[in-house]
Each structure stands twice: as C-alpha cells, then as structure tokens.
Amino acid sequence: MKKIISILGIIVISAVIAVGFIACKGDDDQVLLPPPSPCNCPTTGHLGVGENCGCGGKGCGCTEQTAVLDGMPIRKQTGVTVDQMNTGVTKIAGIYNSEELSTSDRNKIKAKVTEIRIVPGSGTAFEGGILSIGHEATTTAILYIFIDVSVQLITATQLVADIKIGWNLGNTLDAHPGNETSWGNPATTRANITTIKNAGFNAIRIPVTWYKALGPAPSYTINPDWMAKVVEIVNYAVSNDMYILLNTHHDEGIFKFTNAEKEQSLAVFKRVWEQIAHTFKDYNEKLVFEALNEPRTKGASHEWSGGNSEERGVLNEYYQVFVNIVRASGGNNRERVLLINTYGASTVSAAMNGLVIPTDSASKKIAVSYHAYEPFSFAHNGNGTWSNTSGNTSPITSRVDNFYNQFVLDKGIPVIIGEFGAHRNTSEDVRAEWTDFYVKYAASKGIKCFWWDDGGNFKLLNRQNNTFDYPKVKDALMYYK
C-alpha cells in the first residue's frame, strides 16, 4: 500500500558541527538552519526526525533540536553541501527534489518522512533516527531521505473539507449478536463499495460492533476472523480511494459511563482500541478512527437528552484514553485524524457543552460528530411530509448552526454529521427535496454528512444488484456536482 521514494543528497561535513538541524524554508535556493546554542554545549550534533527530540527547555543538556523535515520542499536534486560559518548559521544549498514524481505526487509534498538514513563518512554515525556528527567529521556522507507519498500530513479541517458526501454501511458489521448478515443485509462485496464510490460518495462510515468478538479478560483478544472481515471491507474502501470512518458501534454493554463501572469498562475499551490501532497503524491518512458511536447509558431517563454530569465526565475520560492509545501505537497513527461524538451523539446543549476536547500530541487532528434525523417525526419516523418552510428547516439549520458556532468558529474543530437520513415511508420526491436542502445547508458551513443506509427504512443501495432503489434521493446527495 505504501509508495516510497528515495531522494539522495551528498553532504560534505566540515569540522565541529555542534547543532541539530531545524529545516526552515528560505528562498528557492537554500534552507537556513538556526545557529547553535550560545552556551557551551558538547561537540556532538544530532538530526532528529519528526518529533521533538531536542534541547527545547533543556538548556545545554544536549545539542539536539527538532528536525522539521516533514513537508520539506521537494525540488530538483542538486546535491547538498553543509558549511559551518563563523556566525554559527549552518546553510544547506540546494533543496531536494525528484523530477520523477508524478503530478499527483507533487500535490502531496507535505508527505511523511518515513526514514532518514546515513551512509556515514568518518566521524559520523546514524542510529535510531539520530545523526551524530563527531568533531573530527571531515569526510563525505550520503544522505537518503525516504518519503512516503501515500501519506499526507493534513489537518482534520483539511480532511473534512475534502469529504464531499458520505455513506454508512449500516446494519452490517454492527449487527449483533450474530455476523454481518444477521440483520438481513447480504455479505458486503467489493462491488458494493465500488458502486457507492462511482455514484459520487467519496467517504464511507463502517460501523463495527466488537463485544461479540472479544476473548476473556484481561487480554480481550479480538477474534482474528472478525478482525480479518473488518480489514477486508476497509480494504474495499481503500482500493476505491475513499475516506473511511471506522468505529466501535453497539458496544454500550461493555463500555459503561458511570464512575462505579468505568474502571473495568475503560480496561476493555483500551484493549479494543489497542488492537484496532495496531492493525491499521500503517494505513494512510484517509482512515479516520471514531472512538464511539452514540455513547450513553442505555435505558436511562436522560439517554437521549445529553446524559448527566457524571456520565459526560466519564465520557471525556474515554476520549483521552482513546487519543493516548492511538498515538502510542505508532506508525501513521501518530498523526491520524480522530473523531469524537457528544454524549449520545446528541445535539442538545448539555451534550455539546459537556464535551471536552482531549489533549493531543498531534496538532489539529480531532473532529467532532453528531447525528440528526430532523425534523424527527418526518425524517426518523416517516410521518407526514416536509416542505422548505422555516418551521420545517429550522430543526436542521439550528443544529448545524449550533455546532458550527461552538466548534468550528470558536475552537477551530471541524464537524461531521455521522448519521442522517429520511425514512422511506414518505414520498421520494419530498425526501429528495429534504435531502437537497439538508446537505447543501450543512456544506455551506463546512459540515459534511453521512447518509445512514441500513438496508431497510433508510435504504439507498440495493446490495444484491448494486442499483439504487431511490435514485432521486441519491442524486440529491450529490449537491457538489
């Protein structure tokens, strides 16, 4: 799945280089590097990759500094020379690039640097991602920079902006307690997902229920056959170059939100996400992990009204555990976009105000989601009709506006509507008009929508013959065309 490019440069290392590189874009001919620390540091330099491995805040405890190489400008390879000038400013003349990159690859110049490898000259060494330059280093070393152009370093906002319209593979891998066909839908095929992509959907949400596939405590090992089934369907979407939301869905029976139950529940939650994260850690940035579906206490009086303060607080603990687990799993998960929902995926103010965005080692990689079948009687229950009047549109626009104002405007966090749809009991023409209004209004605020296709009341795709039972509704979803 990965595409790796090697870009070669020649480094002539002069004596006594005592500073790590921070690549700062200068003009078209050079990258300027900062001067070494004015204090008396040891005469060994280090080139760290990606994360801060350096002296920031450490004074002269070392001479490492962050090497900001991800997204280094890619230009024609000219060779690289290093001079240590009297001022202490190190200069690299000639920035790399390879003219062999395709046009699509050039659009991915903010690619992930997967490896920097040195073939050392005398007095240099490269081990564990660190280039060590001894004070006797006077000879030539060869620098290979490996760039994975299949992975783009994009923010959550950029990712959501690139989503056009999404589709849920509903009542399938989330069906329980049986398998993917136990709720009446056929086994998912590659042709199903290809049909969805060719229809204009560039994103898919894959709801998955995990509790039924877990082994006993304390390892809670996911049945390998079940994981293989999930991987198979995710790969159908990968092969169609789609954005993918992968979640834990109907697992409220093992994920509890009271203080009395949270310790055991978080232990299971942690193990489930450790295994999911490990399995998919090398997938590119188009795979998004969604921590939970509609997190709530089933049967509680406040189940759909935002929960209580205790439950919302526990939910926020889940999200911090989720972020920490994914980031610690390594690979592309260090920078993967992550999706969190309000309590119950609700739009009420208690749920919105109670959601705390978790601390994240990656920058701008979290998005928020909610679900809204509105107006509820028409959209969710299939009663009555709908027309483009303020009384009928305000249940849609008010929710979009509230999330836009509170998260997009105030916090810079993008928003996805992970589920919406209109019940098939009502007229297809009316549902198409409703759909057109809904997705266009949400898109006007930068919020993207995922239709809930359960193969039943909210069905779009006929999965047996790969046609659309309600083509007018399908066409209305393609607002961007």
Which residues are catalytic, by number?
Answer: 294, 419
Residue 63 CA to residue 51 CA, distance in Å, equals 15
Beta-carbon contacts of 245 under 8 Å, excluding residues fewer than 6 positions away, are 166, 203, 204, 205, 206, 288, 290, 339, 416, 418, 450
Polymer length of the chain: 481
Residue 359 CA to residue 316 CA, distance in Å, equals 11
Q: Which value, to the nearest 10 degrees, does the dihedral of the CA atoms of residues 325, 331, 337, 340 take?
A: -20
Choose among 297, 384, 309, 288: nearest CA to 354: 309
Q: Is 33 helix (H, G, I), strand (E, B) or coil?
A: coil
- What DSSP string describes 39-63? S---S-EEE--SS--S-TTTTTS--
Residue 123 CA to residue 132 CA, distance in Å, equals 8
Looking at the DSSP bridge assignments, the partners of residue 4 are 148
Cite the beta strand spans of 183-329 per DSSP E: 203-206, 243-247, 287-290
Please check whether residue 365 is in contact with residue 326, taking contact to mean a CB–CB distance below 8 angstroms.
Answer: no
